[in-house]
Amino acid sequence: MPPITIREERILKSGSPIFTISVPSINPGESQDYDLAEEDSLPSTAKEARKYLPLDYCEVTNDDPNCAVSLVINQVESLYIPAATIKSISGKNMWRIAVKNNDASTATTAGKIKLVLQRQPITVDKYLRKYKLGRGRLFE
């Protein structure tokens, strides 16, 4: 496999910028989807996220005192977030996320749920698992 590029190496060492999404109001039982690979489905604060895919860190702040939500990752995994709670998940490759309103009768309040997304810098453990040194260059 060819050596990684300078840009890829910079992303490995530094990670990506932090992308913030303020979730609009979600009706009971519905969800708000974000396809991170499609610029049109993202708000302006996260349009650059597709350059750093897959993202591997997400922090969900649910400041809505009445509604519990779920974070659905890649349409497969789900993380339950109770009302007035902050939860984070890392180490999962995220290409698509959705926030689902679990409440049966109350809509979420616009701006009360925030997502913080990032591709984290590589740790020494991840580096040693994924790469081996060879002739002073990184190879997969």
CATH code of 97's domain = 2.60.120.530
pTM (predicted TM-score): 0.82
Assess whether 44 and 83 both reside in one domain. yes
pLDDT tops 80 at residue 24:
yes
Residue 122 or residue 71, greater confidence: 71
Q: Which domain holds residue 86?
A: 17-118
Mean pLDDT of the chain: 87
How high is the pLDDT of residue 136?
Answer: 45
Mean pLDDT of 131-140: 51
pLDDT at 2: 57
pLDDT value for 134: 46
Rounded distance between C-alpha atoms, residue 39 and residue 45, angstroms: 11
- The residue type at 69: V
Q: Tally the domains of the chain.
A: 2
What's the mean pLDDT in 34-48? Answer: 88
Q: Are the C-beta atoms of residues 5 and 140 closer than 8 Å to each other?
A: no
